[in-house]
Amino acid sequence: MADLVRRRLRVVVGLAALAELVVFVLVAAWIGLGWTIVATVLTSALGWVLLARQGRRALVDLRERARSRESAGRELGDAGLVAVGGLLMVLPGFLGDVLGLLCLLPGTRGLVRRALMRVVLARLPDRMRGPVRVGSTRAAPVDPHGSGDRLVIEGEVLRDPDSRG
């Protein structure tokens, strides 16, 4: 199983590098090699600036959630997307810059989050897609003195209407 994952990862990284090289050559043919190199350096610098700004904001949000003792699931996801987006922006390549920009900008980060959730949920078995809420209904009054019979509570498993799956 691990070999399969490694093989797929190598293929994806190789195809991404090839796609970046093709785009670089096309852009260089369009605007010239010098301007392409300048654009690559500028997008990397922009990546550093956006990573610093959005990373700080993500950390402030995480600290605020920790102080208020609320769940920080979304904020952790945002921090992860900011880190991935910053890495993609800092590495040379125009395709990575576009994906990194989508991860770094607050307005488009939600789109990336939803797309990733769809991909992850599509790969999970149905029983692992949740959240699952359990409702119960008592079928008969319970004898508080315990007559020796087993307590049976009938119920049904209900899916949360907000969850997808």
pLDDT tens sequence across 127-161: 666 665 656 665 556 565 655 556 666 667 766 66
Indicate the DSSP class of residue 149. Answer: P
Q: Tens digits of per-residue pLDDT, 4-23?
A: 889 999 999 999 999 999 99
Task: Give me 142's structure tokens.
Answer: 């319970």
b/e per residue 66-84 (b: at least 16 CB within 10 A)? eeeeeebeebebbbebbbe
Residue 81: strand, helix, or coil? helix
Task: Give me 165's structure tokens.
Answer: 């799956």
Residue 122: strand, helix, or coil? helix
CA neighbor of 50 nearest in space, from 102, 111, 122: 102
pLDDT band for position 50 (50/70/90)?
A: confident
CA neighbor of 96 nearest in space, from 40, 39, 20: 20
Read off the amino acid at residue 137.
T
Q: Across the chain, what does the average pLDDT equal?
A: 81
Residue 120: strand, helix, or coil? helix
Residue 36 has pLDDT above 90, yes or no: yes
pTM of the model: 0.66
Q: Tens digits of per-residue pLDDT, 97-114?
A: 999 989 888 888 889 888
Q: Is the C-alpha dihedral spanning 59, 64, 69, 73 positive or negative?
A: negative
Report the C-alpha gap between 47 and 148 in whole angstroms.
69
More confident residue, 112 or 2: 112
